[in-house]
């Protein structure tokens, strides 16, 4: 087959390091009958070892040429190819069709990683776990604790929905073409519904977005649409603090206060 020229607009950096690929697949630990979806299979670096361990693998690939290669390639019998934008893919519908929660994996296109993670968070109820390669800087943001530079909206919203763990780092030399930055593997496991204690998740999401929208501003300013001084008094939170000093439980408490106060 003709050589594929990597397309920058689709964030194409292909894994070429066999040891790293083995390490990622070992971390995923696929079992034959599991319902697994790989986002962005590309030239199949992870797809091949995954299909060796699975009866069937769903793959979502936006690049027409790469999807065509997979259709014509030797892995085709094991694959269900969705030639589609993962940002628009209905993961819940697939889980419904398969009758089971999904394991989602992939070396994600870095240019769309944040919107893709927010999209996946909406389908968390239909997900068993997710293991992704991302830019290390994004993984640092996902697992960040309050009062650190990396801590932000992505940390709060993903940690609310998932238990997030940084597994290991991957250097640029593992890819062709080489990215300019370090990468890392992250595992996201949905929390049980009992742990999701925000009464109005959309309200919490809006509050978190506003609190981190202008990082230099105080909570009094960024959240004035929802909270007055009397509310801060009831909550026992100093309104002159900044959003980055609050932890996940604080955000849940604030959102629940606004939701129940009416």
Applying CB under 6 A, the residues found at the interface with ligand SAM are 10-15, 39-43, 45-46, 60-63, 66, 85-87, 107, 109, 112
Which C-beta is closer to ligand SAM: that of 103 or that of 243? 103
Residue 47 beta carbon to ligand SAM: minimum distance, rounded to whole angstroms: 7
Residue 215 beta carbon to ligand SAM: minimum distance, rounded to whole angstroms: 28
Q: Which position's Cβ is nearest ligand SAM?
A: 40
Backbone angles phi, psi at 144, to 5 degrees: -65, 150
Which C-beta is closer to ligand SAM: that of 112 or that of 198? 112
Residue 161 beta carbon to ligand SAM: minimum distance, rounded to whole angstroms: 21
Which C-beta is closer to ligand SAM: that of 101 or that of 134? 134
Which C-beta is closer to ligand SAM: that of 94 or that of 219? 94
Q: For residue 186, give Cα distances in angstroms to 108, 137, 174, 214.
A: 11, 11, 17, 27
Residue 242 tokens, joined: 């900044």
DSSP labels, 187-255: EEEEPPGGG---S-HHHHHHHHHHHHHSTTSBHHHHTTTT--HHHHHHHT--TTSBGGG--HHHHHHHH
Residue 14 beta carbon to ligand SAM: minimum distance, rounded to whole angstroms: 4
Ranges assigned E (strand) in the chain: 14-15, 36-39, 57-60, 79-82, 102-107, 127-135, 162-170, 175-176, 183-190
Which C-beta is closer to ligand SAM: that of 86 or that of 254? 86
Residue 45 beta carbon to ligand SAM: minimum distance, rounded to whole angstroms: 4
Kindly give the pairing relationship between strand 183-190 and strand 127-135: antiparallel
Which C-beta is closer to ligand SAM: that of 107 or that of 131? 107
Positive or negative, the CA dihedral 203, 132, 138, 111 is negative
Residue 63 tokens, joined: 């690049």
């Amino acid at each position: 087959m003709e050589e594929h020229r990597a397309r920058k607009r689709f964030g194409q950096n292909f894994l070429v390091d066999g040891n790293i690929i083995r390490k990622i697949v070992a971390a995923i630990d696929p079992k034959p009958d599991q319902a697994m979806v790989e986002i962005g299979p590309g030239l199949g670096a992870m797809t091949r070892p995954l299909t060796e361990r699975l009866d069937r693998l769903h793959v979502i690939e936006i690049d027409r040429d790469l999807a065509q290669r997979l259709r014509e390639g030797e892995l085709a019998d094991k694959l269900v190819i969705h030639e589609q934008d993962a940002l628009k893919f209905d993961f819940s519908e697939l889980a419904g069709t398969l009758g089971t929660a999904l394991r989602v994996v992939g070396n994600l296109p870095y240019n769309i990683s944040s919107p893709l993670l927010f999209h996946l968070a909406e389908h968390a109820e239909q997900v068993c776990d997710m293991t992704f390669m991302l830019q290390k800087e994004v993984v640092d943001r996902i697992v960040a604790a309050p009062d650190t530079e990396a801590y932000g909206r992505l940390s709060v919203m993903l940690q609310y929905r998932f238990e997030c763990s940084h597994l290991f780092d991957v250097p640029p030399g593992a890819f062709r073409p080489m990215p300019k930055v370090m990468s890392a593997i992250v595992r996201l496991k949905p929390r049980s519904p009992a742990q999701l204690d925000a009464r109005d998740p959309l309200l919490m999401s809006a509050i978190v977005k506003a609190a981190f929208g202008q990082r230099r501003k105080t909570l009094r300013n960024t959240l004035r649409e929802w909270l007055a001084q009397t509310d801060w008094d009831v909550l026992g939170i100093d309104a002159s603090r900044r959003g980055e000093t609050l932890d996940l439980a604080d955000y849940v408490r604030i959102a629940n206060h606004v939701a129940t106060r009416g």
